[in-house]
A and B are shown apart, each in its own frame.
Chain A
């Protein structure tokens, strides 16, 4: 008798398993919202993650408040005349000569006092906030993961394909990046050595001649065969080039950035590269006790400054400068005052460095205000929300539609002019996004919120499918002026594209969303 699978029995044909069976089915809707503009397609973003909590005040100095810095952290403070000037008010750590040069060439931005409301000084929680780009404790997708989900549906099932043969993101090293965690998969591909990119294994496996050794060797070979990107990456690296002689082969970050230059110049279409620098958790011995401009933190800053300088030089020589921009970030800054161990403890806001020839402005944001007395455990307060920086990068660099950007983030976005230095349209002031209605999170599985501004109006909210058919009235009622947030339940809907229609005497607005 022929074998009949339980699941092939006709009555079971309607069984739908989680994503492994149908994939992520997202019908094409309002496609113009999600199309990636051609001009943005070749843009590359570099993210350098400084792990441990970077002491921003030892990286970027408010030169106009040196006296206050002495009050706060004299045991680790570099001498005033050794600070590398960027402007009269702002300077860099003495070891960051490379980045000072870049600033003078108009290729470095300092974004001051970046953080988020209600800072959390736990490494793990705070880094989760920075990588998810959200304060919502239940958000586990990365901010770039959400962007990639919106632009490239059916991931990972439909990729790689003829149009998109390369990974969307590469995480240099052996771990994929939480920043790129999408709903159904991680958009980043871990690469330690692009010239040997077929190796997917965390560590190498040796066959010691036992049955075990033979089995794990066999499995390793098969695992590497599933690496669909390996060949693409290796080919691009081999076809690529590196022209700068400024890279120090003993600088691990420089080695990785050089690989990236080779991959980009070799034609790899990857859009995001993420790198990690470890060791910023400098609770003690942050500086060398004999020479405060040397030490652990100084070495890390020098590593980043030198490597980025070499990379920028390489991009210039390769003719790629207009395509690449980069950002450093860390889970928090450190306290204003140093501690008794010649180190610093966990703090709050800190500066971000943005690099590339398309930066718009040198210094973004005013200097932090350093108090003239030590307040216990005080960190620098936030001036700029990091989520706005992410949003601004998506707008300036990847030319994402603002409505889409807003749907990726939970706060009402304030845009900053970050990367418009290569285009003709340079705006002078930050643009406040239109307060259109938005659905968050989007896409979503079971429940989401509809946020919108209302006047004095009697409003009805209808749920409409992608064919324009009204499915139900989700809300109606008399509203006052102000922001409204409706929690709406959608888990019984079939996967696909939908709209809410907000209808009242004074308006009729559509906002789109997807149900997974």
Chain B
């Protein structure tokens, strides 16, 4: 893959951060410019840590509010057990939104979401199990994908979701075995014959099911076990020798007990299809939906080669992609329609707006943010099917599936909500910190520069000068530019005085409200 050797300006830095994070501020972009392309890309791989989700809802009946529930038991009483699960799921949902909003400038959250979409798991009936599963994905998000697939195979949440926990030698269940091949590794190709999908056959599905037998899940909503766990039970395992199809050169997988699944996954990853399939998904996620034959031969092939050469570590692949000429090519800028979570976070993260109130209010606000994204079509960790969200795979529309008249209205509703002064929880108003946003720009007193900077942060490509003038007239109330300068300087001289602060805030809210409803904001 040809490396990028072009200019490294704020446009390129903004493109990198826009694709690799859930939203970067003006200052973040400037810092990335200063770091140079390699520096900026490398910084994205720095790991970030997060805190555990906290109980905040009165449905929680084991741990005190304000403490984490991830290793707590459940109540014995059925109704209390149910209420506690509800409270923990609310806490988890809020926590997921909070992590996106409060991310450090790192690839971690985007890659975590990629894997969460890739494996397509939704709730398992025990919030602790979902938490542990997501922590597993986070652990390997920028690491070894083969190890990730192995660990996911025996993760309690996945075992519950795809029926691995009832897949036994006495009654094999093909659910996981099929999706492991079709969705997680080699992918599905054209149908060559009945039950033959170019990359695997029904024989492989049956074999995979048998290979994966024997793992059971324990401790779901248990009143004694503090963790949900999976356990290999030899008597439930199929100890026959499994023969794979001709696509796998009819290799055999002999009985190997608890680690047999891992041996099998080694074989699956040796298939060239696996690296190609995963790299295509990454390309669609980070670059563009359209995999032309040129892209397939020049980009995907190189990505896959790097992937295999690095024993399936993902970071070298991503580094190569994000430092490539193709990634920065003007033809792929602004090619992706932002997903609901990306849209919501772009509204908040670009101004470093976070909710930092008391526990109750903060979690309630984040739960609402989770809900808003859900209503726009994307509830985190609750994809519509195990294949993930259709926008990431369904030809020919791909990302256009995020946009219909209902979803557009929701996006506009969210824009209205976050640029108003009316959304509050317990009296704590949550809104975009528009004045902070303004203050962080290069020249807040200059109306034209404010618009230029906002366009850099919010839009993927430059817009016509006439459009910028139209937006500027909203900022200035159609007054000459110097009036804005006067107003802003008055505010600067007495920043806590609402008489000077409020008008500035109202104008910025009006500008952002309009920009969030422009089509250019919804692409990245």
- Listed in ascending order, the chain A residues whose CB lies under 8 Å from chain B are 1, 3-7, 9-12, 15, 17-21, 51-52, 120, 122-125, 127-128, 137-138, 140, 174-175, 178, 183-186, 200-203, 205, 210-212, 215-220, 222-223, 225-226, 276, 278, 281, 445-447, 491
Contacts and interface: CB of A to CB of B under 8 A. Distances in A.
A175 B466 contact: no
B499 A10 contact: no
Interface in B498-517: 498-500, 502-504, 506-507, 510, 514, 517
Contact of A6 (B89, B420, B480): B89
B89 A19 contact: no
B465 to A, nearest CB: 10
Contacts of B358: none
Contact of A124 (B332, B423, B477): B477
Contacts of A276: 478
19 contacts: A3-B384, A9-B85, A9-B86, A15-B367, A20-B417, A124-B503, A124-B504, A140-B421, A185-B416, A203-B467, A210-B334, A215-B335, A215-B523, A216-B519, A281-B483, A446-B427, A447-B427, A491-B426, A491-B427
Contacts of B479: 51-52, 123, 278, 281
A272 B498 CA distance: 30
A125 B335 contact: no
A20 B163 contact: no
A1 B123 CA distance: 10
B161 A1 contact: yes
Contacts of A21: 371, 375
A20 B504 CA distance: 27
Given A175-B474, A202-B471, A216 B523 contact: yes
Contacts of A51: 477-479
A128 B502 contact: yes
Contacts of B381: 6
Contact of B487 (A6, A12, A122, A178): A122
A447 B487 CA distance: 30
Contact of B403 (A4, A20, A125, A219): A219
A6 B370 contact: yes
Interface band, chain B = 35 or more
B466 to A, nearest CB: 6
B93 A7 contact: yes
B498 A5 contact: no
B128 interface: no
A20 B375 contact: yes
B229 to A, nearest CB: 19
When A and B form their complex, which 6 residue pairs have the shortest distance between CB atoms, in order from nearest? Answer: A11-B86, A124-B503, A212-B334, A211-B335, A219-B519, A216-B519
Interface on chain B toward A: helix, strand, loop, or mixed SS? helix
Given A19-B417, A124-B503, A203 B487 contact: no
B61 to A, nearest CB: 12
B502 A222 contact: no
Contacts of A225: 405, 408
B383 A3 contact: yes
Contacts of A491: 426-427
Contacts of A201: 518-519
B506 A445 contact: no
A3 B384 CA distance: 6
B170 interface: no
Given A9-B89, A140-B420, A217-B519, 18 more contacts: A1-B175, A4-B123, A5-B122, A6-B381, A7-B371, A9-B86, A15-B90, A17-B368, A18-B423, A122-B500, A123-B477, A124-B504, A137-B498, A140-B506, A175-B474, A203-B464, A211-B332, A211-B335
B151 interface: no
B404 interface: yes
A6 B424 contact: no
A198 B89 CA distance: 42
Most buried by B among A11, A140, A184, A200: A11
A202 B464 CA distance: 12
B160 interface: yes
Contacts of A226: 405, 408-409, 412
B334 A211 contact: yes
Interface in B309-366: 330-337
Contacts of B336: 215
B303 interface: no
B467 A202 contact: yes
A174 B413 CA distance: 18
B281 interface: no
B481 to A, nearest CB: 12
Interface string B75-86: 000000011011
Most buried by A among B375, B404, B519, B520: B519
Contacts of B371: 7, 15, 17, 20-21
Contacts of A218: 400, 403
B417 A220 contact: no
Contacts of A19: 413, 417
A40 B513 CA distance: 33
Given A20-B372, A202-B470, A3 B382 contact: yes
B522 interface: yes
A223 B517 contact: yes
B487 A123 contact: yes
A220 B367 CA distance: 30
B405 A222 contact: yes
Interface in B82-130: 82-83, 85-87, 89-90, 92-93, 122-123
Nearest to B94: A6
B461 interface: yes
A11 B483 CA distance: 54
A6 to B, nearest CB: 5
A281 B486 CA distance: 13
Interface string B382-398: 11110000000000000
Contacts of A281: 479-480, 483
Most buried by A among B163, B175, B522: B522
B337 A219 contact: yes
Contacts of A211: 288, 290, 331-332, 334-335
A18 B478 contact: no
A216 B381 CA distance: 28
B150 interface: no
Nearest to A131: B506
B91 to A, nearest CB: 11
B452 interface: no
Contact of A125 (B333, B413, B424, B503): B503
B379 interface: yes
Contacts of B474: 175
Contact of B520 (A18, A122, A216): A216
